[in-house]
Amino acid sequence: MYVLITVGIAAYNEGKTIGKVLENLLSQDYPEPFEILVVGGGSDNTADIVQDYAKRFRNIKFIIERERRGKPAAINEILKSARGRIIVITDGDVFPGKRSIIRLIQPFQDSTIGATCGQVVSLNNRSRVFGFWGDFLCWAAHRKRLYDDQNDRFLALSGYLCALRRGTIIRMPIDMLADDAAIGLLIRSKGHKIKCVPAAKVY
């Protein structure tokens, strides 16, 4: 079956949020067809929730991890199993804004684009110290991405919401600590451009 978009989710011990994330992704606008691929599991009820959704929705697939191997290993499973021409990568505890997915993939109409990145928006309470700094760091990282984009510099992707053209990366090293930056480096090293898409917000 032809699939245009694969949305890959790394979700380990995300039982409190994964159901809401799947509902969010199912409600997004897509140029049909699409699939949602969840890689993870854990010691909580994450696997049970995802398996229940997979039974009810044919375009949701679940790859269970019997042991935690880290996000780079989960991303490699997504890259290996995805059928879409565009692979969107996100997490099991974040919520893309309305129409964020379709906005994220629009730049791929340009054949030189190898990856795109959304804007991370913190939902922390700014009136508290940690909430203020969480919000500030998200804002500062986004401003840096915009600057790098506008000046054709290396752009570190955000693992909270990014998209790759299929085949730009086959596999990434599993010992990387900053997997989102590593993806950006690998794509840039192959001569592809990376685009920041501020309208594709993830909360």
Q: Strand 161-165 vs strand 113-120: parallel, antiparallel, or unpaired?
A: antiparallel
Bridge partners for 196 per DSSP: 117
CA distances from 96 to 75, 92, 120 (A): 18, 11, 9
Backbone CA torsion sign across 6, 166, 11, 137: negative
**Between 197 and 142, residue with greater pLDDT:** 197
Look-up: residue for tokens 């684009």? 113
Confidence (pTM)? 0.89
How high is the pLDDT of residue 3?
Answer: 64
- 152-159 average pLDDT score: 82
- pLDDT band of residue 186 (cuts 50, 70, 90) is confident
pLDDT tens-place string over residues 49-70? 999 999 999 999 999 887 777 8
- The pair of structure tokens assigned to 153 is 């510099």
pLDDT tens-place string over residues 134-152? 777 878 777 888 888 888 8
- C-alpha torsion angle, residues 31, 89, 75, 55 (rounded to 10): -60
Pair 59, 21: CB distance under 8 Å: no
> Which residue type, as a one-letter code, is found at position 80?
K
How high is the pLDDT of residue 191?
Answer: 85
Q: Is it the case that residue 175 has pLDDT exceeding 80? A: no
Q: Is it the case that residue 48 has pLDDT exceeding 80? A: yes
**Between 159 and 161, residue with greater pLDDT:** 161
> What is the Cα–Cα distance from 175 to 159, expressed in whole angstroms?
16
Q: Is it the case that residue 15 has pLDDT exceeding 70? A: yes
